[in-house]
Amino acid sequence: MKGFILLAILIPIFQYAMSNCYNHRTWNIKKFVVILSLMLFSTQYYVAQNLPPSSLPSGWERIYIKNVGNFDLPPTMEVQKGKYKEFADVIKKIKGFDASPLTAQQKGLNEFSNEGYEKYARVMIQTTFGLPGDFLKLKFDTSELSQVDKYDMSSIYKQQIQQGFLGTGLKLIEWYPLKIEKINGMSCIHISYKRQLGDKPFVLVHMYSFHNNDRMHIFTLSYRLAEADYWKSDYEKILKSFRITNVR
């Protein structure tokens, strides 16, 4: 059957991005909705089928997220917890960010070890909730989006992210084309960009937005570009391992 893509297709992912590294700011919601309403298009819905779990590499850990699913984490990373998570959450609140529900980072940060500060990497998952039908099904038809649709959506994402950077010391260095793609059989909106905080090393960010009927899951992967040789292979495995098992 045919349905319409919802007006809120962009809002949740911006909320998540700002909860991690941007200041929350008051938006003109009415104006935003008008812009999005011009982008409405019909799309075919499909019944989502769960993929079997990926094979777990030696030394890796499978991370289970309640009411979402799971992903695999390499031995070079750890789930943020303990004193470091308390410290990170306090800093985020001081800066006006929301604390992330689940964050993985380079190993050693939880113990504040010197090794933990040598590199930078993050894997984050957050869910935004709505009502049944507010979001597309997990396997919506990606072919319904035209190049014009993708360009328009990309422009709005870019504008809002740049606005979110204001006053934070963050700079958008490079923006990559928005993609609508399949990840492990699940449809998603994929945005990516290169950012910089002050004069610190460039960070590459990939954000994957998965619609799931009454909720949206945002899976974000980021690392320093200078450390790409160290992280890239493992990050490809992390993304390949991601499963949403609570299909709505």
Concatenate the DSSP letters of all residues of 65-133 into one string.
ETTTEEEEE-TTEEE--HHHHHHHHHHHHHHTPPPPSEEEEETTGGGT-GGGGS--EEEEEEEEE--TT
Return the closest-CA partner of residue 48 out of 245, 235, 230: 245
206 strand-pairing partners? 192, 221
More confident: 37 or 110 = 110
Separation of alpha carbons 78 and 89, rounded Å? 16
Give the model's pLDDT for residue 110. 80
Among 33-47, 79-93, 126-140, 172-186, the range scoring the smallest mean pLDDT is 33-47
Instruction: Single out the residue of 44, 38, 46 nearest to residue 3, CA to CA.
Output: 44
Would you state the structure tokens that stand for residue 44, as one six-digit string? 């075919």
CATH numbers and ranges of domains, the chain: 2-244 (3.40.1000.10)
Q: What is the band of 29 on the pLDDT scale with cuts at 50, 70, 90? A: very low
**φ, ψ at 196 (rounded to 5°):** -145, 140
Position of tokens 């297709």?
9
Please give the residue that has the higher pLDDT: either 11 or 208: 208
Q: How many CB atoms lie within 10 A of CB 38?
A: 7
pLDDT (0 to 100) of residue 83: 52
Please report the pLDDT score of residue 210 as a whole number: 95
Residue 197 near residue 175, CB atoms below 8 Å: no
Residue 58: exposure state from Cβ atoms within 10 A (0-12, 13-18, ≥19): exposed
pLDDT at 9: 52
pLDDT digits (tens, 9 = 90+) for 185-238: 999 999 999 999 999 999 999 999 999 999 999 999 999 999 999 999 999 999
User: In this structure, is the dihedral angle defined by the CA atoms of residues 94, 96, 97 and 99, taken in order, positive or negative?
Assistant: positive
CA dihedral 231, 98, 202, 10 (to 10 degrees): 90
Angle at alpha carbon of residue 181, lines to 189 and 213, rounded to 5°: 55
| pTM exceeding the 0.85 threshold for the entire prediction | no
- Beta bridge partners, 160, equal none
Dist CA 48 CA 65 (whole Å):
19
What percent of the chain stands above pLDDT 70?
Answer: 71
For residues 242 and 46, what is the distance between their CA atoms, to the nearest angstrom? Answer: 20
Output phi, psi for 50, to 5 deg. Answer: -70, 135
Residue with tokens 């979001």: 135
**Hey, which residues does 170 pair with through a beta bridge?**
197
